[in-house]
Protein backbone atom coordinates (compact mmCIF):
# COMPACT_ATOMS: atom_id res chain seq x y z
CA UNK A 1 0.00 0.00 0.00
CA UNK A 2 2.82 2.38 0.90
CA UNK A 3 4.58 1.60 -2.41
CA UNK A 4 1.38 2.32 -4.35
CA UNK A 5 0.96 5.66 -2.61
CA UNK A 6 4.60 6.50 -3.34
CA UNK A 7 4.14 5.86 -7.07
CA UNK A 8 0.96 7.92 -7.16
CA UNK A 9 2.78 10.74 -5.38
CA UNK A 10 5.50 10.70 -8.00
CA UNK A 11 2.97 11.04 -10.80
CA UNK A 12 1.17 13.79 -8.94
CA UNK A 13 4.43 15.70 -8.46
CA UNK A 14 5.52 15.39 -12.09
CA UNK A 15 4.47 18.38 -14.23
CA UNK A 16 1.78 17.41 -16.73
CA UNK A 17 3.64 18.82 -19.78
CA UNK A 18 6.61 16.57 -19.01
CA UNK A 19 4.37 13.51 -18.98
CA UNK A 20 2.58 14.57 -22.16
CA UNK A 21 5.82 15.22 -24.05
CA UNK A 22 6.95 11.60 -23.77
CA UNK A 23 3.93 10.55 -25.83
CA UNK A 24 4.04 13.45 -28.31
CA UNK A 25 2.25 13.62 -30.62
CA UNK A 26 -1.12 12.19 -29.60
CA UNK A 27 -3.27 14.15 -32.08
CA UNK A 28 -2.96 15.86 -35.51
CA UNK A 29 -0.53 18.76 -35.93
CA UNK A 30 -1.31 21.96 -37.84
CA UNK A 31 1.43 23.35 -40.08
CA UNK A 32 0.51 26.96 -40.84
CA UNK A 33 1.60 28.47 -44.18
CA UNK A 34 1.25 32.21 -44.69
CA UNK A 35 0.91 31.97 -48.46
CA UNK A 36 -1.71 30.93 -50.98
CA UNK A 37 -1.67 27.40 -52.48
CA UNK A 38 0.71 26.74 -55.37
CA UNK A 39 3.72 28.73 -54.20
CA UNK A 40 6.99 27.20 -53.09
CA UNK A 41 6.10 27.35 -49.38
CA UNK A 42 2.82 25.55 -50.04
CA UNK A 43 4.28 22.89 -52.34
CA UNK A 44 7.30 22.14 -50.16
CA UNK A 45 5.38 22.19 -46.89
CA UNK A 46 2.88 19.63 -48.23
CA UNK A 47 5.65 17.29 -49.41
CA UNK A 48 7.33 17.51 -46.01
CA UNK A 49 4.06 17.24 -44.04
CA UNK A 50 3.05 14.03 -45.82
CA UNK A 51 6.27 12.30 -44.82
CA UNK A 52 6.41 13.83 -41.36
CA UNK A 53 2.92 12.42 -40.73
CA UNK A 54 4.27 8.92 -41.28
CA UNK A 55 7.32 9.53 -39.13
CA UNK A 56 5.32 10.91 -36.19
CA UNK A 57 2.36 8.56 -36.47
CA UNK A 58 -0.05 11.51 -36.52
CA UNK A 59 -1.38 13.56 -39.42
CA UNK A 60 0.40 16.85 -40.12
CA UNK A 61 -2.19 19.11 -41.76
CA UNK A 62 -1.04 22.05 -43.91
CA UNK A 63 -3.25 25.05 -43.30
CA UNK A 64 -2.95 28.06 -45.62
CA UNK A 65 -3.50 31.37 -43.82
CA UNK A 66 -2.46 34.02 -46.38
CA UNK A 67 -2.96 37.73 -45.94
CA UNK A 68 -1.34 40.88 -44.57
CA UNK A 69 2.09 39.85 -45.81
CA UNK A 70 2.06 36.60 -43.78
CA UNK A 71 1.47 38.48 -40.50
CA UNK A 72 -1.91 36.76 -40.02
CA UNK A 73 -0.26 33.34 -40.05
CA UNK A 74 2.65 34.49 -37.91
CA UNK A 75 0.37 35.98 -35.25
CA UNK A 76 -1.72 32.81 -35.14
CA UNK A 77 1.34 30.69 -34.40
CA UNK A 78 2.90 33.20 -32.00
CA UNK A 79 -0.24 33.24 -29.87
CA UNK A 80 -0.94 29.50 -29.98
CA UNK A 81 -0.27 27.09 -27.12
CA UNK A 82 3.37 25.89 -26.95
CA UNK A 83 2.39 22.25 -27.09
CA UNK A 84 3.77 21.24 -30.50
CA UNK A 85 0.39 21.01 -32.22
CA UNK A 86 0.59 24.33 -34.05
CA UNK A 87 3.73 24.90 -36.12
CA UNK A 88 4.67 27.34 -38.88
CA UNK A 89 6.34 26.87 -42.24
CA UNK A 90 8.13 30.19 -42.54
CA UNK A 91 10.47 31.99 -44.91
CA UNK A 92 12.46 35.21 -44.85
CA UNK A 93 9.31 37.23 -45.48
CA UNK A 94 7.71 36.17 -42.22
CA UNK A 95 10.75 36.47 -39.98
CA UNK A 96 13.18 38.88 -41.62
CA UNK A 97 11.54 41.27 -44.07
CA UNK A 98 8.40 42.03 -42.05
CA UNK A 99 10.38 43.17 -39.03
CA UNK A 100 11.59 46.20 -40.99
CA UNK A 101 8.64 46.51 -43.39
CA UNK A 102 5.87 46.98 -40.82
CA UNK A 103 5.86 49.88 -38.37
CA UNK A 104 4.34 47.62 -35.73
CA UNK A 105 3.76 43.87 -35.58
CA UNK A 106 1.39 42.06 -33.18
CA UNK A 107 4.27 39.79 -32.17
CA UNK A 108 8.04 39.76 -31.77
CA UNK A 109 9.64 37.85 -34.66
CA UNK A 110 12.40 36.54 -32.39
CA UNK A 111 11.02 36.34 -28.84
CA UNK A 112 7.60 34.89 -29.72
CA UNK A 113 8.83 31.85 -31.67
CA UNK A 114 10.86 28.69 -31.16
CA UNK A 115 13.06 27.81 -34.19
CA UNK A 116 13.18 24.10 -35.02
CA UNK A 117 15.14 23.76 -38.28
CA UNK A 118 15.66 25.20 -41.72
CA UNK A 119 14.47 22.88 -44.49
CA UNK A 120 15.38 24.57 -47.79
CA UNK A 121 17.16 27.34 -49.62
CA UNK A 122 15.78 28.49 -52.96
CA UNK A 123 16.84 31.06 -55.55
CA UNK A 124 14.75 33.62 -57.30
CA UNK A 125 15.09 33.64 -61.07
CA UNK A 126 15.45 36.79 -63.14
CA UNK A 127 13.27 36.27 -66.19
CA UNK A 128 12.41 38.64 -69.04
CA UNK A 129 9.79 38.74 -71.79
CA UNK A 130 11.00 37.04 -75.01
CA UNK A 131 10.61 40.31 -76.90
CA UNK A 132 13.14 42.13 -74.70
CA UNK A 133 16.32 42.42 -76.80
CA UNK A 134 18.74 41.02 -74.22
CA UNK A 135 20.41 37.65 -73.81
CA UNK A 136 22.14 38.08 -70.43
CA UNK A 137 22.40 40.27 -67.34
CA UNK A 138 25.07 42.56 -68.83
CA UNK A 139 22.85 43.35 -71.81
CA UNK A 140 19.87 43.97 -69.51
CA UNK A 141 21.90 46.43 -67.45
CA UNK A 142 23.06 48.23 -70.60
CA UNK A 143 19.49 48.44 -71.92
CA UNK A 144 18.13 49.69 -68.59
CA UNK A 145 20.82 52.38 -68.42
CA UNK A 146 19.93 53.53 -71.91
CA UNK A 147 16.24 53.80 -70.94
CA UNK A 148 16.13 55.06 -67.33
CA UNK A 149 12.67 54.84 -65.80
CA UNK A 150 11.16 53.13 -68.84
CA UNK A 151 11.54 49.39 -68.15
CA UNK A 152 8.95 47.92 -65.76
CA UNK A 153 9.46 44.94 -63.47
CA UNK A 154 6.80 42.99 -61.57
CA UNK A 155 6.90 41.84 -57.97
CA UNK A 156 4.59 39.94 -55.63
CA UNK A 157 3.89 43.12 -53.66
CA UNK A 158 5.54 46.03 -51.88
CA UNK A 159 8.29 44.91 -49.54
CA UNK A 160 8.26 41.27 -50.67
CA UNK A 161 11.44 39.42 -51.52
CA UNK A 162 10.69 39.90 -55.24
CA UNK A 163 10.45 43.65 -54.73
CA UNK A 164 13.67 43.73 -52.70
CA UNK A 165 15.45 41.71 -55.39
CA UNK A 166 14.46 44.29 -57.98
CA UNK A 167 15.57 47.19 -55.79
CA UNK A 168 18.87 45.50 -54.96
CA UNK A 169 19.45 44.88 -58.66
CA UNK A 170 18.94 48.56 -59.46
CA UNK A 171 21.17 49.70 -56.60
CA UNK A 172 24.05 47.42 -57.57
CA UNK A 173 23.74 48.00 -61.33
CA UNK A 174 23.13 51.75 -61.21
CA UNK A 175 19.88 51.44 -63.16
CA UNK A 176 16.40 52.87 -62.64
CA UNK A 177 13.29 50.82 -63.45
CA UNK A 178 9.56 51.01 -62.70
CA UNK A 179 8.23 48.77 -59.95
CA UNK A 180 4.77 47.26 -60.57
CA UNK A 181 3.45 45.25 -57.56
CA UNK A 182 1.03 42.34 -57.96
CA UNK A 183 -0.71 40.05 -55.45
CA UNK A 184 1.70 37.15 -55.60
CA UNK A 185 4.50 35.61 -57.62
CA UNK A 186 2.15 33.78 -60.00
CA UNK A 187 0.25 36.98 -60.99
CA UNK A 188 3.60 38.73 -61.47
CA UNK A 189 4.69 36.02 -63.92
CA UNK A 190 1.33 36.25 -65.72
CA UNK A 191 1.88 39.99 -66.11
CA UNK A 192 5.24 39.22 -67.67
CA UNK A 193 3.79 36.63 -70.04
CA UNK A 194 1.09 39.07 -71.17
CA UNK A 195 3.64 41.79 -71.83
CA UNK A 196 2.45 44.16 -69.10
CA UNK A 197 5.99 44.24 -67.70
CA UNK A 198 9.42 43.47 -69.13
CA UNK A 199 10.85 41.35 -66.33
CA UNK A 200 10.44 39.91 -62.86
CA UNK A 201 12.40 38.10 -60.18
CA UNK A 202 10.17 35.03 -59.80
CA UNK A 203 9.98 32.14 -57.39
CA UNK A 204 10.91 28.79 -58.92
CA UNK A 205 7.42 27.17 -59.00
CA UNK A 206 5.99 30.22 -60.75
CA UNK A 207 8.84 30.59 -63.25
CA UNK A 208 10.25 27.16 -64.13
CA UNK A 209 7.27 25.88 -66.20
CA UNK A 210 7.28 29.01 -68.39
CA UNK A 211 11.06 28.89 -68.69
CA UNK A 212 11.06 25.24 -69.77
CA UNK A 213 8.26 25.97 -72.26
CA UNK A 214 10.31 28.78 -73.79
CA UNK A 215 7.77 31.45 -72.86
CA UNK A 216 10.31 33.54 -70.92
CA UNK A 217 14.06 34.05 -71.04
CA UNK A 218 15.94 33.28 -67.82
CA UNK A 219 18.96 35.53 -67.34
CA UNK A 220 20.17 34.55 -63.89
CA UNK A 221 19.55 32.98 -60.49
CA UNK A 222 19.97 35.05 -57.33
CA UNK A 223 22.08 32.51 -55.42
CA UNK A 224 25.87 32.65 -55.19
CA UNK A 225 26.18 29.32 -57.02
CA UNK A 226 24.30 27.83 -59.96
CA UNK A 227 21.32 25.64 -59.13
CA UNK A 228 21.68 21.95 -60.06
CA UNK A 229 19.23 20.97 -62.78
CA UNK A 230 18.81 24.52 -64.07
CA UNK A 231 21.08 25.65 -66.89
CA UNK A 232 21.00 29.26 -65.74
CA UNK A 233 24.02 31.38 -64.76
CA UNK A 234 24.11 33.39 -61.54
CA UNK A 235 23.48 37.11 -61.58
CA UNK A 236 26.90 37.46 -59.97
CA UNK A 237 28.41 35.86 -63.08
CA UNK A 238 26.51 38.37 -65.18
CA UNK A 239 28.35 41.37 -63.80
CA UNK A 240 27.06 41.97 -60.25
CA UNK A 241 29.55 40.01 -58.12
CA UNK A 242 27.94 40.96 -54.76
CA UNK A 243 24.39 40.09 -55.78
CA UNK A 244 22.89 37.29 -53.69
CA UNK A 245 19.35 36.80 -52.42
CA UNK A 246 18.28 33.43 -51.08
CA UNK A 247 14.76 32.42 -50.10
CA UNK A 248 15.15 30.34 -46.94
CA UNK A 249 12.36 28.15 -45.55
CA UNK A 250 12.07 26.56 -42.13
CA UNK A 251 9.76 25.24 -39.44
CA UNK A 252 9.19 26.84 -36.06
CA UNK A 253 6.68 26.89 -33.22
CA UNK A 254 5.50 29.39 -30.63
CA UNK A 255 7.79 30.56 -27.83
CA UNK A 256 8.16 28.17 -24.93
CA UNK A 257 7.99 24.98 -26.97
CA UNK A 258 9.42 22.27 -24.67
CA UNK A 259 12.96 21.10 -25.58
CA UNK A 260 11.84 17.46 -25.82
CA UNK A 261 9.31 18.37 -28.53
CA UNK A 262 11.76 20.65 -30.33
CA UNK A 263 14.38 17.90 -30.40
CA UNK A 264 11.90 15.29 -31.62
CA UNK A 265 10.66 17.53 -34.43
CA UNK A 266 14.18 18.56 -35.39
CA UNK A 267 15.29 14.93 -35.63
CA UNK A 268 12.27 13.81 -37.67
CA UNK A 269 12.37 16.82 -40.01
CA UNK A 270 16.07 16.20 -40.62
CA UNK A 271 15.30 12.62 -41.63
CA UNK A 272 12.43 13.71 -43.90
CA UNK A 273 14.41 16.42 -45.69
CA UNK A 274 17.22 13.96 -46.39
CA UNK A 275 15.03 11.13 -47.66
CA UNK A 276 16.13 9.95 -51.13
CA UNK A 277 12.56 10.35 -52.39
CA UNK A 278 12.63 14.05 -51.47
CA UNK A 279 15.45 14.69 -53.92
CA UNK A 280 13.09 14.93 -56.89
CA UNK A 281 10.78 17.24 -54.94
CA UNK A 282 13.61 19.66 -54.28
CA UNK A 283 15.01 19.39 -57.80
CA UNK A 284 11.63 20.14 -59.36
CA UNK A 285 11.42 23.28 -57.24
CA UNK A 286 14.99 24.32 -57.91
CA UNK A 287 15.53 24.15 -54.16
CA UNK A 288 18.38 22.88 -52.03
CA UNK A 289 17.65 20.72 -48.96
CA UNK A 290 19.21 21.91 -45.73
CA UNK A 291 18.80 21.36 -42.00
CA UNK A 292 20.43 22.74 -38.87
CA UNK A 293 20.09 22.85 -35.10
CA UNK A 294 17.49 25.05 -33.40
CA UNK A 295 20.31 27.25 -32.12
CA UNK A 296 21.77 27.67 -35.60
CA UNK A 297 18.33 28.45 -37.00
CA UNK A 298 17.80 31.12 -34.32
CA UNK A 299 21.13 32.75 -35.21
CA UNK A 300 20.22 32.58 -38.90
CA UNK A 301 16.92 34.41 -38.34
CA UNK A 302 18.67 37.23 -36.47
CA UNK A 303 21.27 37.51 -39.23
CA UNK A 304 18.62 37.68 -41.95
CA UNK A 305 16.67 40.34 -40.04
CA UNK A 306 19.76 42.56 -40.13
CA UNK A 307 20.60 41.78 -43.77
CA UNK A 308 17.08 42.21 -45.15
CA UNK A 309 16.49 45.26 -42.99
CA UNK A 310 19.11 47.07 -45.05
CA UNK A 311 17.34 46.04 -48.27
CA UNK A 312 13.94 47.16 -46.97
CA UNK A 313 15.34 50.55 -45.98
CA UNK A 314 16.97 50.95 -49.39
CA UNK A 315 13.69 50.09 -51.15
CA UNK A 316 11.77 52.72 -49.19
CA UNK A 317 8.92 50.25 -48.67
CA UNK A 318 6.81 50.66 -45.52
CA UNK A 319 3.49 49.17 -44.41
CA UNK A 320 1.27 50.02 -41.46
Closest CA to 312 of 181, 203, 154, 163: 163
Helix (H, G, I), strand (E, B), or coil: what is residue 2?
helix
Domain hosting residue 189, numbered range: 123-221
79 and 157 in a single domain? The answer is no
137 and 217 in a single domain? The answer is yes
User: pTM for the whole thing?
Assistant: 0.82
Give every CB contact of residue 54 below 8 A, 6+ residues apart in sequence.
Answer: none
Helix (H, G, I), strand (E, B), or coil: what is residue 140?
helix
134 and 216 in a single domain? The answer is yes
Phi-psi region of 84 (alpha: psi -120 to 50; beta: other; left: phi over 0): left
Rg (CA), the chain: 22
Closest CA to 236 of 228, 274, 227, 24: 227
* Series of mean pLDDT values for 10-residue runs along the chain (320 residues): 47 46 89 86 95 98 90 96 97 88 92 98 95 97 97 89 91 95 86 97 90 95 88 93 92 98 98 95 90 97 90 76
Last residue of a domain, one of 221, 255, 290: 221
Any domain includes 238: no
102 and 131 in a single domain? The answer is no
200 and 297 in a single domain? The answer is no
Within 13 Å, how many C-alpha atoms sit on residue 123's CB side?
Answer: 28
Count Cβ atoms within 10 A of the Cβ of residue 75 and give its class: 0-12 exposed, 13-18 middle, 19 or more buried. Answer: middle
Any domain includes 233: no
256 and 113 in a single domain? The answer is yes
Domains identified in the chain, total number? 2
118 and 257 in a single domain? The answer is yes
Which CATH number is 31's domain given?
3.40.190.150
49 and 86 in a single domain? The answer is yes
Amino acid sequence: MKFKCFVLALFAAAPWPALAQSDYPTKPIRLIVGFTPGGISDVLSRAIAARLSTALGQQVIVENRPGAGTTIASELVAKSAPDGYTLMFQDITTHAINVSLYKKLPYDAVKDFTPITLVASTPLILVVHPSLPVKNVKELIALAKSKPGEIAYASSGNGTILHLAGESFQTQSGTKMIHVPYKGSAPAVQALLSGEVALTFGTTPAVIPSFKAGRVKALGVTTAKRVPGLDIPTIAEGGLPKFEIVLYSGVLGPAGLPPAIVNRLNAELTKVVNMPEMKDVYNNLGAQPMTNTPEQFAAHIKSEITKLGVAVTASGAKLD
